[in-house]
Amino acid sequence: MEDAREALLVLDGLTKAFGDFVAVRDVRLDIRESEFFTLVGPSGSGKTTMIRMLVGMEQPTSGEIRLNGRVLNQVPANRRPTCMVFQDLALFPHKSVGENIEFPLKIAGVAPRVRRERASALLRQLRLPVDYYDKGVNQCSGGERQRIALARALAFDPQILFFDEPLAALDFRLRKTLEKELKDIHRETGKTFVYITHSLEEAMVMSDRIGIMKNGGLVQIGTPHEIYNRPVNKFVAQFMGEVNTLEVEAAGAHAVREVQGEGTFEVRDMPEHFTRGFLIIRPEVMKLGPAAAGAANTVSGRLFNDYALGSRVQYQVRSAGGAQWLVERLQDDPFEGASDGEVTLGWRPEDSILVSE
């Protein structure tokens, strides 16, 4: 279903070059009112340069940044109705929690009583005790400092909050907790969040839409469901995590042939004009052993290894043709086959994803 919300932030041909090196090239993107939009990509993809332009720390070489129709290219960071939460949080260690939260209001000349009321309200909203107002920032845990930084960002009531990998330095358990909390806070505040991360898993948990960057450009924009189920190319499919990837060529209207002789496989949807590309099958849709009996697509191989992944177990199977296959099953439904024993893999035609590059 198409989202009918108005575009709040528009990037129109946004480009940034440093000498001969183009860090961001011709990015065109509309970010909607109250949306949680995440830019994700590997190191060097251009996402940090992108957000530095959006907050006013860098000026574009060409193109426009428009907020509610107003061009922001020349507007300095401190005069934009936006705020940034940095990876290092940039809290003032010598100030109390309350003083940190109030800081943007103090700079704006807001009266002390109003500042205190606003800080107390934000402490409650961010699920921090109100008596933390006088507590030293360095006495707070990592998760608490994240909430304090977010409260300070919200204090000035910005139209957009930008986040530069704020969870990157946290341990896994705290990061998982704060991912959900950030999504809850976004829902509660109704603010527009623009988030930068190198973790697509993080983006999938929190985002309304995701933009995947590579070599300075946007490769794909879509909802988490669209990105996961309909990747536009091999890069996006593999960026999602470990997948089974085979180079294939068309072998009919609904079939492809693996170029190294692994087999011919049925597919449900053949892209128009597809002649050669890649077949992607996600490990969790693969069947293993007796469960693969009767599957339209099958491959035989030997069970080589297994890996515990929390609630799942991943099995590595090596086929006679030399391909390495990954299959995942729930931890409470493990495969009982013998190590190094011959097994059959299978999957449905509708679980095949074909991409051209």
Q: What is the DSSP string of 295-337?
A: -SEEEEEEEEEEEEETTEEEEEEEETTS-EEEEEEETTS---P
State residue 34's pLDDT score. Answer: 94
State residue 338's pLDDT score. Answer: 63
Top-level CATH class of 242-355?
mainly beta
Q: How far apart are CA 124 and CA 141, in angstroms?
A: 17
State residue 200's pLDDT score. Answer: 85
As its CATH architecture, domain 7-233 has 3-Layer(aba) Sandwich (3.40)
Q: Which residues of the chain have pLDDT under 70?
A: 1-5, 338-340
Q: Are 82 and 53 in contact (CB under 8 A)?
A: no
State residue 201's pLDDT score. Answer: 84
State residue 260's pLDDT score. Answer: 84
Q: Are 47 and 196 in contact (CB under 8 A)?
A: yes
DSSP-assigned beta bridge partners for residue 241: none
State residue 194's pLDDT score. Answer: 96
State residue 223's pLDDT score. Answer: 95
| CATH 3.40.50.300 in the chain, residue ranges | 7-233
State residue 339's pLDDT score. Answer: 66
| 276: its two tokens | 């050669």
State residue 317's pLDDT score. Answer: 94
State residue 76's pLDDT score. Answer: 92
State residue 3's pLDDT score. Answer: 59
Q: How far apart are CA 84 and CA 77, in angstroms?
A: 10
State residue 2's pLDDT score. Answer: 53
State residue 169's pLDDT score. Answer: 73
| CATH 2.40.50.100 in the chain, residue ranges | 242-355
Q: What are phi and psi of 198, to 5 degrees?
A: -95, -5
Residues in the chain: 357
State residue 349's pLDDT score. Answer: 96
DSSP secondary structure string for all residues of 138-180: GGS-HHHHHHHHHHHHHHT--SEEEEESTTTTS-HHHHHHHHH
